[in-house]
Amino acid sequence: MTIIVMTYNHAPFIKEALDSVLMQETSFECEVIVIDDCSTDGTSDIVRAYQKAHPHQIRMVLAEVNRCDNAEFMKAVQACRGEYLALLDGDDYWTSPDKLQRQAEYLDRHPECAISFHNVRIISDDANQAPRESLPSHREAFSTLEDLLEGCFVSTCAAVLRRDALTGFPSWYTNDDCPDWSLFVMAAQHGRLGYLKDVMAVYRQHSGGFWTGLRRREQSDRIIQFYENLCGYLPGEYAPKVRVMLARQCYDVAVEEQQAGNRDAARRYMEKCLRAEPDVRRVKWSLRAAGGSIAALVCLPGDGDGVRIQIERAASRAGFDVQLNQPYLSVKVDERYSVRFRARADALRSIFVGFAQAQEPWMGLGLYERVELSREWQPFQVEFVAAADEGNGRIHFDLGESAVSVELTSVSVRRVADDEPIDPRLLLHAGS
């Protein structure tokens, strides 16, 4: 197995990272490549000392100048000797001495998987943030490239990849600002992602981190570029998903710019959004289907607002949940709002309409009401008083565990006092 450790100015952390590598107990040999992008804080001296103490195991790659690109990493991957490839950033560390052994054995048992990954503990230098796990323990055992395009749920320090799943790097990868996510996408074209629920590493969030040190807008722009890179890279079957995810990222930035009063910037991002995905329904709504790919969001033909939540198959386990969400709805505490929509179902059934925060913790904001659907279209209006100020509220239609499909149209959230819509996305779409 080959272990690649990427480091830059990690002097306070790099010893713990390298010690966690050297404590691994494996039945196979491991080569360790440490890539230092010309650190200026003493990291290089620490790595040299480790390399001198373990000359047959650790190889150090020291950049002559700080490149801030992926060139040395690409060379290391192409030159590595291991059947499997493990990754570690110099400010993270592994906590289980049998982590690599377990992941290698897992990939041996599951030849259909290109990646093995596990849960990690996230710790922050912000004293107000308690340690937490990156993933729920009940997460599905297997994921696909389609899932990975929704977001990067694999922590770098948790991944072990098949080396032969990385058949080459596209030209844009040298300057890619989401290199780990892109690497997982490349590998996931050749197999599934297998999940081990145990926590076997620690991921540090700190102000000097490669990702957490960025402002939110910088993160958003990098994700937009990530999806733009994939537009011409992945096979055509993934193009619709990539376009929707690109459009959603542009939509998010457009809304934030509008809320900040930057209307020109908001319009530019909105135009980019609509170029990627002209059907605003695919961008405005997101379908959450816990328990596997049991449902799909279908845009109704001939209805610019209508969507259908199509139950695709029975759940893979006893409990599952299907929920249609629309975020970026701003409310003020103690003001009254109404949710209006028309709906029908394939058979008699009930659903819940709710309003909550769109980020953790998902606290309810004053609405969670059952409505009864039939085969005929019916109009509905439910009202609620906002329980708190919220700049990113979320309307959601919760289908629960029923296998009956539902159609919705003409959904709006309005302030009762003036009967005005509160959805900034719709205002952007209208060109205001």
Topology of the domain covering 282-429: Jelly Rolls (2.60.120)
Q: Which two tokens stand for residue 397?
A: 């239609």
Query: How many whole angstroms separate alpha carbon 166 and alpha carbon 46?
Result: 31
Q: What is the tens place of the pLDDT at every residue in 346-397?
A: 999 999 999 998 876 678 899 999 999 999 999 999 999 999 998 888 999 9
Rounded mean pLDDT, 105-120: 98
Most confident range (mean pLDDT) of 83-97, 194-208, 278-292, 320-334 is 83-97
- Between β-strands 321-331 and 390-400, what pairing exists: parallel, antiparallel or unpaired? antiparallel
What pLDDT does 432 receive? 40
Task: Calculate the average pLDDT of the chain.
Answer: 89
Give the largest Cα separation in the chain, rounded: 76
Lowest mean pLDDT among 6-15, 31-40, 200-209, 347-356: 200-209
Buried b / exposed e over 61-84, threshold 16 CB at 10 Å, is bebeeeeebbebbbebbeebebeb
CATH 3.30.2130.10 fits 2-205, yes or no: no
Query: How many whole angstroms separate alpha carbon 390 and alpha carbon 393?
Result: 6
Rounded mean pLDDT, 386-411: 90
Residue-range domain boundaries for the chain: 2-205, 216-278, 282-429
Rounded mean pLDDT, 319-331: 80
Tokens 């360790």 sit on residue: 32
Lowest mean pLDDT among 8-22, 262-276, 277-291: 277-291
Rounded mean pLDDT, 137-143: 84
Other Cβ atoms within 10 Å of 99 Cβ, number: 25
Lowest mean pLDDT among 61-70, 85-94, 198-207, 250-259: 61-70
pTM: 0.85
Other Cβ atoms within 10 Å of 14 Cβ, number: 27
Q: What percent of the chain has pLDDT over 70?
A: 91
